Structure 1
Amino acid sequence: MSEADPAEPVLFATRLRPHRSLTPRQFRFLLLGIAAISFASTLPFVIMGAWPVAGFMGLDVLAVYVAFRASFRSARAYEDVRVTFLQLTLAKVSAKGARAEWRFNPSWVRLERQEHAEFGTQRLDLVARANRVEVAGFLGPDAKERFSDDLGRALAEARRGYRYEH
């Protein structure tokens, strides 16, 4: 995001990132464990002369590796949300680095929540006139609800306007 006026106070600023359950180090241990189990279960087949089984078991390990690498690559995506008295800025950066940015007047933007009775907050949209942009799409329902509450408070404060103190 571009640098803001240092005199304009920031009411809310956050960077949202997709959650990943494993760190890269934990992933290495998991992959080593899967490979060891695969090797141990393949060894009897190789001893009996059914050596092609080893290749298929190796494909399973390769599939797990490829799936987790894709997951870690997609985790590079993020969203920056920033609210000041004059502007709400949303910047979405894809895993490949493509950036899209939206700017809204906080007085005219609405934060719409789609709720499900059993599963909680399913979708959050910033809506201003004909513009509708989903925000925090990769967060879980609980995290979306907390984010929605925090952003809602910041937007309410921005609508009240700057308070001058003497």
Structure 2
Amino acid sequence: MEPGKPDHGAHRTEAAEAVRRPVFDATITPHRSLGANGFRIVMTLVCLASVVSSVPFVVLGAWPVAGFFGLDVLALFIAFHVNFRHARAFERIVVTPLDVLLRKVSHHGREAVWHFNPAWTKLERQEDEDYGLLALNLVSRGRRVAVASALSPGERAGFADALGAALARARRGPDFAAGE
């Protein structure tokens, strides 16, 4: 590069980076009220209660009842296992000036990916007067995909506002003056 002449290659690189830089990036996971430590505590208490409750039956000679107490513990363990497995599901939404990426991964690990053009993408809200925002869909060119289904109506409304603002910002394009 000669002194005093602008470096147009650097501007192209900055522009390419600005177009790819996310305007919005969110990962939504299902809420679980009981963590791993809480699970251990609950299972320990249930096992202790089961053992203490089954001792009198074993002493009286009704030992098969103790097995049914064990089945209750096993059923509870399986229910928690299924619950924790479902917690592996997530949705990721990334909005750039060129693309809206929606990636959904089920609890089985199956992945579904959608790409939308931000210029043609809108949010469709299904609201109820009493319950709030019941459903939120990304709609573009005849495709409709539900998003944020793991959120409560209040959380979904906040998410919809943030995503709507990000889509509007993406439609305006990157702000080169602000260094974005």
Q: How high is the TM-score relative to the length of structure 1?
A: 0.90
Q: Which of these residues, 62, 76, 82, is aligned with residue 94 of structure 2?
A: 82
Task: Please give the per-residue CA displacement for 1:125-151, whole angstroms capped at 9, x wherever unaligned.
Answer: 111121011111122222211211110
1:67 alignment partner AA: A
Distance 1:164 1:15 in 2: 27
Residue 134 of structure 2 is aligned to residue 117 of structure 1: no
Task: Kindly indicate whether the alpha-carbon contact (under 8 Å) linking 2:18 and 2:176 is maintained by their aligned counterparts in 1.
Answer: no
Identity of aligned residues (%): 48
Match for 1:138 among 138, 150, 160?
150
Q: RMSD of the TM alignment (CA)? A: 1.6
**Residue among 64, 69, 79 paired with 1:67:** 79
Do residues 7 (structure 1) and 18 (structure 2) align?
yes
Counterpart of 2:59, as a letter, is I
TM-score by length of 2: 0.84
Unpaired runs of at least 5, structure 1? none
Q: Which residue is 2:5 aligned to?
A: none
Structure 2 residue runs without a partner (length 5+): 1-15
Q: Aligned to 2:17, what secondary structure does the other structure show?
A: coil
Number of matched residues?
162
Larger-Rg structure = 2
Structure 1 position 122, deviation (Å): 1.5
Task: State the Cα deviation string for residues 22-45 of structure 1 (Å, max 9, x = none).
Answer: 111210111111111111122222
CA contact (8 A) 2:121 2:139 kept: yes
Q: CA deviation at 1:104?
A: 0.6
Question: For the residues of structure 2 that align with 1:37 and 1:118, how far apart are their CA atoms?
Answer: 42
Aligned-residue offset at 1:82: 0.4
User: What amino acid does structure 1 have at the position aligned with 2:114?
Assistant: W
1:162 offset after TM fit, Å?
3.0
Amino acid at match of 2:90: Y
**Which of 67, 90, 101 does residue 113 from structure 2 map onto?**
101
1:162 aligns to what SS in structure 2? coil
Whichever structure has more helix as a proportion of its residues is 2
Q: CA deviation at 1:160?
A: 2.6
Shift of 1:17: 0.9
Q: Hey, what's the Cα distance between the residues in 2 that align with 1:126 and 1:21?
A: 28
3-state SS of paired residue (1:10): coil
